[in-house]
Each structure stands twice: as C-alpha cells, then as structure tokens.
Structure 1
Amino acid sequence: MVKLYGKNLSRHEAEALSGNLSHAAGVRSMVLDDGVERGIRLLEFRTGTGLRFTVLIDRAMDIADCDFRGQAIGWHSPAGFRHPALHEPEGEGGLGWMRSFSGLMITCGLDHILFMAEVPTPEYTYGPRATARHSLHGRIGTIPARLTGHGERWDGDRCFLWAEGVVTQGTVFGEHLELHRRIEVEVGSNDITLSDRVVNRGFYRTPHMFCYHINVGHPVLEEGARYLAPVRDVVWAAHAESYRAQNAGYRTMPAPQAGFHEQVWQHEMGADDAGRVPVALVNDRLGLGFMVTTRKDQFPCQYQWQNFQQGQYAMGIEPSSNHVLGNDAARARDEMTWLNHGDERRYDSTFSILPDAAAIAAAEARITAIAAQPKEDFPAPSGTFTPIGGRS
C-alpha cells in the first residue's frame, strides 16, 4: 500500500485522488540557471511524507539538497553546487576540491579518497605517467553522469521513485572505472536506498578506493545534538595532540565557533547480525534525526568529520573502504582493492530520516544493541587499525 497523509491506499485509491501522483510525490528533471550552479541538471524527489531531496546528475548523481517538512537535513557550504566545468581538480595544490564541496553527500574515489598523494603507477605501463598525483578525495564527485533512466515504478500497490546513471572516470594510459548508481525511495517512506557498483572497464589492473562524505547541517546539527554509533573503539583523531583544546568531543555537538579547525576521527564500528552498521546524528530538542546504514563488509571503516566553524557548520558521517591512513598505507598494508577487467565492487546503503522522538529512540536502541559507544566525549584513541582482509 502507498501511505499518504496518514492513510494506506491501494494504487487504485491513490490514482483516484488526482490526475497525477505528482500532486503528492514524484521525481522530475530540472536545470539550475544562475551563478556557479548554472547549467547543472538535477532530479528532485518528493516522497509524500515531507521528504524532499535533489540528485545532481552532473556531479556523480550525488545528493545535494535534503529537507524534511521544511527542516534542512543536508549541509550547504559557501561553495554552492558548483558546475563541474568550473572545477579545478589540480588547483590550490590539490585543495581545489573544496570549491565544489557542498551538499548532503559527495562521493570520493574511485581510485583515491583522502588527502593529496602521489603514488607509483607501474600497472599502466606508460613511462611519462610513472606516478599518479591525486588531489583531495579523488575525481569522481565532479564528473557528470550519463542518466540512464528515472521515474516511478509500481509493484502491486507499492510505488517507488528511482533514478539510475553511469559515471565514467577514465583516461588514456590510466584507469577506466565506472560508477553505476541507482537511487530509490518508496512513496510514503523516509528511507533513501543507494545502490552503487564500481566496475573496471579497462584492461589494466587498477586500484580502487571508495568513500561517502555525508554532511549533516543545521538544524539537525546544533548545540547538544548527539552522534549515535556502535563504536567499539575510537581508533584515531587527527587532533589527538591537542585533544580537548577546542572543547569539541566526538559524542555531543557544540554550537558554531569562531576559528574552529576541522576535526576528524576514525571509529571501529560493530555490526548487527546482518552485517549492517547504523550511524546517526539526532536532535532531541526538535525530535529529528538522520541515520546512515551501511554494510561492514563493503565499508569496513568509518570516519567522523567535524567542521564547527561559524558559517560552515557541519558534521560528516563517512563510511570508507579504507583506513584514514591513506593511499600509500593501503598499499603498504596490502589493503588496497585491485580490480582486473570486469571486476566490480558493490556498496548498498540506506539514508533514513528519523522524524520524531519515537524513531530516535528506536534507532538508539538498535545501535546500542550492537555496541555501547563510549559515554565520555574524549575517549583515548587506541591507534589500533584493524587489518582489512579479503582484498584482491
């Protein structure tokens, strides 16, 4: 059944109410037409519950805007949703990526995910390209997709909104990787499912790394908001040498601050019996939260990003294929994923709105049942990076 406005409706009943389901829910194509966003194609999804989000076709089909009943979920930075033609991937010593950094979700990869690095590339057998110079978080997030379809799909009396596309990261004498992305949400629900496949279409043995930079902003993020996660161990903190200097711990969020320097943590997460890892940011005052559920076998690592600078206020949930140690360490530790022609890796995730106090309590109970996270805001990082197995 389709649940709309507090009623469970059959397809017949839903279609009898209006000439088109779009009066309540749907997915439609748009083009932005001003400023740095001019020319970007996007898809707007509305589920009929008050959940609305947009998908940037021309930026890897990442999710940009996201709001629920008029309350923002996703983060908006000063950079805006910049058109990829304006992007300078090699600019500012590799930090040019920051000028395209905004929205609920930015995909990082497909062969590099963290800070700038230069790594050897003997696999490409091309002398002039003896190394690859990677800018921050890789290339994929600013590459336009080829949209292969979008619309409504009825399954009996249930209706699903969906979109699919392919994003190609390729070059001569280098990588040729494809991201196949499907985004789907059921009408009457608050759960966005993201199904990704990364495929090596080339004929070189190619490294692969993958990460989602999922950014939650105000009002979900405000002073007192809580980070809920099945944290078995706080592994690492970039600011460990001045751990308490900014008075911002991992668990309870502060108000925006002047002169705040970003903080990044890595946590070792537990998983439920099905291998799923739920992580949430919740605002008890509003009775509103946002939860990301991933698979431990697909994303064995998880970072937490804190940017509490005034005017840029955000917290990031970052599931990752690799430790925060970086590209060189992934190779040295034999934890890099290597894809031969036709090899692929799958990533299946769910983004959920927690619309009220009851949903927050249920999410917290689910998370706590997996692992009781440290109760203090400043647990000592262990420095124990669990080996990642099963890599080809």
Structure 2
Amino acid sequence: MARDVFAYIGEPDQLMSVREARLLGGRQDGVRMIQLDNGGALECTILPGRAMDLYQVRYKGANLNYIAPCGIVAPAYYDARGTEWLRSFYVGFLTTCGLQHIGSPAEIAGEARGLHGREANCPAEDVRVTRDRAGDSMELTVEGTMREARIFGENLRLHRTYTFSYGEDAFTLTDTVTNHGFGARPFLLSYHINFGYPLLCEDTEILLDSLGVEPRDAHAAQEISRWREIEPPTYPYQECCYFHELAEDAQGRSGYTIYNPHRHIGVRVSWKHADLPCFCQWKMLGKGEYVLGMEPLNAPLDGKKIGEE
C-alpha cells in the first residue's frame, strides 16, 4: 500500500541528506562540494567548484570510480597548455570535456587548444539544491550553470541538473548548452565517465552492444581482440582507446553496463543516441592508474575541430 512518507518525518534529511562544504588545504582549497545520499544505496559527491562534475559515486558503500593521484584541484591551478590539463584531472565518476575542444592538444587558426578543453575547470554559478514532494515521495535536484565565454569569441552556458528520487538507486543528468552570442557557435561535448576499483577488477564485465569497433592507434590495434577484457593491474601499461559504433534501442537510446558479478554491483548508463552519436572506450589498466573510461560524445574525438577549415 502506498505510504505518504511526509507523515512520518519532521525534516527532509530523514529521507535524503545533503551537505554543502568548501574544501580546505592544498590545491583543493576553496572548491565547493555537495555530498548527498538518496535514501537508498546511492551516495554522490558533486563539485560545483569543478563544472558540477561527479567526483565520487558509491553504491552500497562501494566506490564505483577511479580517483587520480592529484586529487581535487581548484580551477585557479588549471593550465590550458598542451597536456597540462592532466595535472587537474582527478578523473572521478564524471569529467566534462569541451566546449570548444575535445581530444588531443592542437593548434587551430593560430590558437593553442589544450587537452579536452576548458569546461572541466569552469566553476558553477547559480547553484541550487532543492528537495520537493513528488507524489507521496521526495525528489532531490542539484543544478548549476557553467560559463565558457570571452570577448571576440564564444559565449556559451552549460546548465546542468541532477535529479534523484527517494530510495531509487539511479539519477538523471540533464544538460542544456545555450549560445548567448549573436552568431552561430558550434560546441563539442564529451562525457568522460570513469570506473575504478572495487567495481573494476579482473571479474568485471563490459556489456556494450557494439556494432563495430576501431582502434585509435597501432598499439590499440594489437590489443583489439581484448577490448572487453579487464586484466589485473600491470606496470608499465600503455593505454588503449577504441571507437565504437553503438546500437540504438526502440526508444532511440544507446548505453552500456559495467558489472562485477562477484560483488553484485554494477552501473547502467544510457542516453539519447541522436544527442551523443559517438563513443570512445578508454582502457588504462596500469598499477595505480587502473581505470576504464566509457565516453559518449557529440562528435568524433579525433574528428574535425572547431575552427578547422
């Protein structure tokens, strides 16, 4: 029988708790953070100070993603040159790449574009957390807006909203990119979703309906028959990247599942295929650098860049 949970509580924290803080010490100093639980088995850490990205997700207490040695780094330390982006790349559950560049560093029309663009180091503004009734239950939303803009250039806003329902071990991420300029402005967007130990280990299964796979380079080509395999950590390890053509279901959605049968934990990710038609798999199984990236994109990672003829 349906139960009005609000008749049993005095404060929303009894159902879904939310804590906001600013971090102290080292290069994380001052970064705004939101920690929440959904009243079920899901705990999330969102960083408004870093593009509203997901630093960590836990399910039934188990960590689901990788965290790099640099840890959380404030945007003030971001260096846009070459691959210096990696010094701020804590990896986490989600790092947003874009909006004017994705992929390897490049020089286009005399402008240097650093690895994966600037978006991941844009702090959010107009951040809001709300908990509202949803029928007899509760819904939690966390939202904020990132501004990627300059004079004589782009003037873009990315508005992000996370939606959680009480006790449901799932969430929805909704992004809207708006051009506030007066001329057409394309954008590139990659959702760098990353999995780590203990979800990721030799027992982990990759469930991906791939219609075709292409290696990014010669080394990945040598290992292409093993793209589904998760090996134990080794050193040294050379990363492998694969580009997949994904199937769509009857609703026009694509997705994948990362599942650990021995721990009985897994993650399902899905999206509208028309919005994000491209997909990259990043396999990096080194000692201390043990991570699987599964990344939907709105354009090919190594495709034509903004401003190229």
Alignment match, 1:96:
84
Unaligned runs of 5+ in 1: 2-7, 121-130, 333-392
Cα displacement string for residues 135-158 of structure 1 (whole angstroms, at most 9, x for unaligned residues): 000001001010341120212212
SS at match of 2:45: strand
Give the aligned partner of residue 50 of structure 1.
Answer: 41
Q: CA deviation at 1:116?
A: 0.7
1:111 pairs with 2:88: no
CA–CA separation in structure 1 for the residues paired with 2:4 and 2:102: 45
- What secondary structure is seen at the aligned counterpart in 2 of 1:315? strand
> Which residue is equivalent to 1:143?
122
**Map of 1:152 onto structure 2:** 131
CA contact (8 A) 1:163 1:182 kept: yes
**Which residue, out of 31, 36, 59, partners 1:40?**
31
CA distance in 1, matches of 2:237, 2:298: 28
In the alignment, the residues of structure 2 paired with residue 221 and residue 330 of structure 1 have an alpha-carbon distance, to the nearest angstrom, of 38
Contact 1:115 1:326 survives alignment (8 Å): no
Q: Does 1:320 align with 2:297?
A: yes
Determine the C-alpha separation between the residues in 2 that align with 1:286 and 1:169: 41
What letter matches 1:43 in structure 2? I
Runs of 4+ in 1 over 6 A off after TM superposition: none
Alignment of structure 1 residues 1-392 onto 2, 5 Å:
9-13=3-7, 16=8, 18-90=9-81, 94-102=82-90, 103-120=92-109, 131-240=110-219, 243-244=222-223, 249-328=226-305
**Deviation, structure 1 residue 133:** 1.7
* % same residue: 30
Shift of 1:310: 0.6
Q: Which stretch of the first structure deviates more once superposed, 182-191 or 318-327?
A: 318-327
Q: Is the Cα contact below 8 Å between 2:192 and 2:294 reproduced in 1?
A: yes
Distance (Å, rounded) in 1 between the aligned partners of 2:139 and 2:76: 32
Distance apart, 1:242 and its partner CA: 5.5
Between Structure 1 and Structure 2, the one with more helix by share is 1
Question: Can you list the C-alpha shifts for 1:331-360, whole angstroms capped at 9, x where unaligned?
Answer: 56xxxxxxxxxxxxxxxxxxxxxxxxxxxx
Structure with greater strand share of residues: 2
How many positions carry a matched residue from both structures? 308
CA separation of 1:19 and 1:158: change in aligned 2, threshold 3 A: closer
Q: What are the Cα deviations for residues 35-65 of structure 1, in whole angstroms up to 9, with x where unaligned? A: 2211111111200112101110011100111
TM-score, structure 1 as length reference: 0.75
Deviations 1:186-205 (A, max 9, x none): 11111111000111111233
Q: CA deviation at 1:213?
A: 0.4
Quick check: 1:178–1:199 contact (8 Å CA) kept in 2? yes
| Contact kept in structure 2, 1:174 and 1:204, CA below 8 Å | no
Contact 2:6 2:137 in 1 (8 A): no
C-alpha displacement of 1:177: 0.8
Partners of 2:255 and 2:99 in 1: how far apart? 24
Query: RMSD over aligned Cα, in angstroms?
Result: 2.0
TM-score by length of 2: 0.94
Alpha-carbon distance in structure 1 between the residues aligned to 2:37 and 2:307? 40
Greater Cα radius of gyration, structure 1 or 2: 1
Inter-CA distance 200–310: structure 2 relative to 1 (3 Å threshold): same
Q: In 1, are the aligned partners of 2:80 and 2:118 still within 8 Å (CA)?
A: yes
Q: Name the SS for the 2:13 alignment partner.
A: helix
Unaligned runs of 5+ in 2: none
Q: How much does 1:272 deviate? A: 0.4
